Structure 1
């Protein structure tokens, strides 16, 4: 049977449906959508792409959730079939829950099926078959609707479509791009962590494709995922052996699942034996041992969550994991305070995996759900346990700990039958205004400009400490010239507004979510 006939057989609808269903079911797991991190994004993608001379990209840091993926197919026909299969599989979902999927290909070696080499990207769409070009036009029209652009397959617009799609993939604005060979050579994006493969790959072509996922970003993305729907194990081993000294540098395969799980089980057993919950960890040496041990468990769990077999085989219960995270964060705060108090204290031997803690971050919606349950159970005997559950959840969250008093005050004030969400928004709006007013009064700031500065921070997701905006909130220099000087005043205001921003960011739908 020829390679072309084999490829056609692999396009059986039943097989493709199973692959699409598996991909959608496991997409959040593989791309770690429960994690969030700060990432530099280009905010003027369309403008900088369409200009005759590419405009200087405007960048800012934003918090994004999880990573994205490439889905590599063996032919243009396979790419288009998968594109429409994913579209159909998500048709019944609300728009906000659908993956944002793009597709791109061009004429030429994209049609090759052996995967030995992957040709450099070309932008020749004129020689595409009528059907292939029509299908690509449909995908580009979907893309235009998503992002308000106006690309097509014409010679003068297709190249800009490629640039725009490439940047939005790097921005984490797209969830997945379906390709044949495009993006499998030379494309680098730190946000890309998963390659779904339904094509034969060999030798240098395999190394090139696998390398798309190996750009390390942070402690959450320490490796890339390759999910192969074909048996590529032998070809992978051959390619690594052949190119291991040069071209495959940076590609190291993970050990088998069982190896990581055995290490995880051993360390969790040690954790439960040496540091039982409810017992204080006495002495700095023991504290450092706990920090190192729990950090190792966090790193192992981060790897294991990418394996399908791990689901349902976690040893720690949700409550145990939450309580250990709380102890870990207590020690993080304690050691950080020690370093601030004694500038000569250097704890280079202590590494806190805070980004990994944030993978299971508790959000405000979850807390409000617990408050709703607490209110319903009030007076029935279950309310004390629910109140304790709220406290545990807050203690286990790096981002909610500095909001503990707000949450506890809200629980005390919640009414018997009002809307929990509406009451929360009203409560937070009042506290935001009162605390900002106090900072304005204490530092004698310009009220209107301070509120404008803070509104911009909530809109952009970050406090801007450079530029003239922060200077404009300060009072005239003559008013505080005897108060430590302009530099000290400015730094103190930045710290206060920064603490205020961190305290309220993410709590209110009015510029904080």
Structure 2
């Protein structure tokens, strides 16, 4: 109720239209297929990672083998399919090991399971750990289980790093568990939780709470997909733990159901339309440029950010039926939504730059929170875009799965590419459809394109300020190599001009005003210490 943790969205899986009796177990293959079909949506396109809570060690082993087999089959059918990185963890038979025996005091299901056919379970765990070693280039075994456990936890938490800093293949998308990690383990990046085991009261709340740590606007709720039809167990648990506010249990614990969320989206879209019409323009992305003044553009930012916030939440719901999806699409068609995102980012970037330079705390733009995180995607990164460009150039136009316009739209609507978007769009516009370039040629071509463009921009700046292009390039290279701005090097760069100190100080400001954007773009998102003083 106080906002320190998120509410939950609980989807009770319908089993393909066949009602599931409360507590009844589905066929495991149906569960795996459902997770594979829904995971990108439930995890906000792999921005987050997930847990699958299973009823026993035997179930965990069976699930691990099924994920392995079905994903191999999917990859054989579609080479572009990006498989989930699946890990599995459960404690081995104690066999006199005091550390494991102590660990299992808090793992009642695993302790009981390991009493039956312990050798078979140990062999299965060895095979799972061998796969893990191959995937991540490590070397764990049963004797170093505790280190394996720590490594799994670390890789789950590593989800916080973008793929540009830590490649996707070094992370974990889904961890299959029995008792481990369901209590006491916290990561803001766990969301969703898939449930195929009986849960009730405190255990249910504990398990669900792995998903509801507050992070940012792209994580609006803890996302639960329950495969055991445990609606009554959920209602009983949240009522019990709501204290005197028991009559408000669902309001306190659960987010709006999908139909209510769609209604709120409709209201937000209507508010955006009303505002645009009040400004004398149609509610179309291309008309945003016609808005006059900071107050009008600030209002657009607030209106569309609310549309995107609700859409982000609905996009993670796994229980949207076809009718609701159609309603959402009609409210703001995908092409319009993508175009509005691009316009939003353009306006937001401009206003944010001016926000930093405006001393008046009462100015309309000073009150804005741009929430760029709502306009980002973990899945759509540099490598993903490069592969799409290969697909775009590698097939005749009639066979293409993606057009030039769709590619540019993806870039325009994603905050990750704010600094590089212009270069990427210009590069894509130089390419010929169906030319048949491979990924290496695309990447090398893009790097050459950027280098040539940077050289042209640098030459213009050098000429403008009366500097040698070679000296200016050396100054930039020194900053980028250390990621530190050196004021003394700037003074040294301007020394040949023979300026007095007052004129030189002004010249430094003018030069850095031209260089700051170029430096930040070439730093590719990494911070340059000391440069912030020139952003004012």
Taking structure 2 as the reference length, the TM-score comes to 0.67
Instruction: Write the deviation string for residues 80-120 of structure 1: whole angstroms up to 9, x where unpaired.
Output: 111111111112325982211111112699xxxxxxxx963
SS across alignment from 1:70:
strand
Q: Does 1:159 align with 2:149?
A: no
Residue among 423, 444, 448 paired with 1:426: 448
Q: Does 1:30 align with 2:42?
A: yes
- Are the counterparts in 2 of residues 414 and 423 from structure 1 also a CA contact under 8 Å? no
Deviation of 1:338 after TM superposition, in Å, equals: 3.7
1:66 alignment partner in structure 2: 47
- Are the counterparts in 1 of residues 208 and 224 from structure 2 also a CA contact under 8 Å? yes
Q: Distance in 1 between matches of 2:258 and 2:490?
A: 63
2:522 alignment partner in structure 1: 500
**Number of residue equivalences:** 432
1:18-417 aligned at under 5 Å gives the runs 18-33=30-45, 66-92=47-73, 93=75, 97-106=82-91, 120=106, 129-154=118-143, 157-172=144-159, 173-245=171-243, 252-275=253-276, 276-277=283-284, 278-279=286-287, 280-308=290-318, 309=320, 311-312=325-326, 313-315=328-330, 316-346=332-362, 347=365, 349-359=367-377, 364-365=385-386, 368=389, 372=393, 395-400=412-417, 402-403=419-420, 406-407=423-424, 409-410=426-427, 413-414=430-431
Q: Distance in 2 between matches of 1:497 and 1:491?
A: 9
- Shifted more, 267-276 versus 198-207: the winner is 267-276
- Shifted more, 387-396 versus 319-328: the winner is 387-396
SS across alignment from 2:221:
coil
Runs of 5+ unmatched residues, structure 1: 1-6, 34-64, 110-117, 378-385, 457-462, 506-513
Deviation of 1:441 after TM superposition, in Å, equals: 5.1
Relative distance call for 1:31 and 1:415 in structure 2 (3 A) is: closer
Deviation of 1:235 after TM superposition, in Å, equals: 1.4
2:12 alignment partner in structure 1: none
Relative distance call for 1:453 and 1:159 in structure 2 (3 A) is: farther
Q: Distance in 1 between matches of 2:33 and 2:340?
A: 35
Relative distance call for 1:146 and 1:372 in structure 2 (3 A) is: closer
Q: Distance in 1 between matches of 2:201 and 2:429?
A: 64
- Are the counterparts in 1 of residues 92 and 121 from structure 2 also a CA contact under 8 Å? no
Relative distance call for 1:140 and 1:430 in structure 2 (3 A) is: same
Deviation of 1:191 after TM superposition, in Å, equals: 1.4
Q: Distance in 2 between matches of 1:72 and 1:10?
A: 15
- Are the counterparts in 2 of residues 326 and 392 from structure 1 also a CA contact under 8 Å? yes
Relative distance call for 1:374 and 1:326 in structure 2 (3 A) is: farther
Runs of 5+ unmatched residues, structure 2: 1-20, 95-103, 160-170, 277-282, 496-500, 528-536
Relative distance call for 1:234 and 1:318 in structure 2 (3 A) is: same
- Are the counterparts in 1 of residues 114 and 121 from structure 2 also a CA contact under 8 Å? no
- Are the counterparts in 2 of residues 432 and 504 from structure 1 also a CA contact under 8 Å? no
- Shifted more, 271-280 versus 224-233: the winner is 271-280
Relative distance call for 1:79 and 1:393 in structure 2 (3 A) is: closer
Q: Distance in 1 between matches of 2:425 and 2:115?
A: 66
- Are the counterparts in 2 of residues 68 and 192 from structure 1 also a CA contact under 8 Å? yes
- Are the counterparts in 1 of residues 355 and 366 from structure 2 also a CA contact under 8 Å? no
Q: Distance in 1 between matches of 2:494 and 2:307?
A: 51
Structure with the bigger RCO (C-alpha within 8 Å, sep 6+) is 2
Deviation of 1:320 after TM superposition, in Å, equals: 1.3
Q: Distance in 2 between matches of 1:321 and 1:194?
A: 25
C-alpha RMSD of the superposition:
4.5
Q: Distance in 1 between matches of 2:525 and 2:137?
A: 35
- Are the counterparts in 2 of residues 446 and 475 from structure 1 also a CA contact under 8 Å? no
Q: Which has the higher helix share?
A: 2
- Are the counterparts in 1 of residues 93 and 114 from structure 2 also a CA contact under 8 Å? no
Relative distance call for 1:374 and 1:283 in structure 2 (3 A) is: farther
Relative distance call for 1:441 and 1:318 in structure 2 (3 A) is: farther
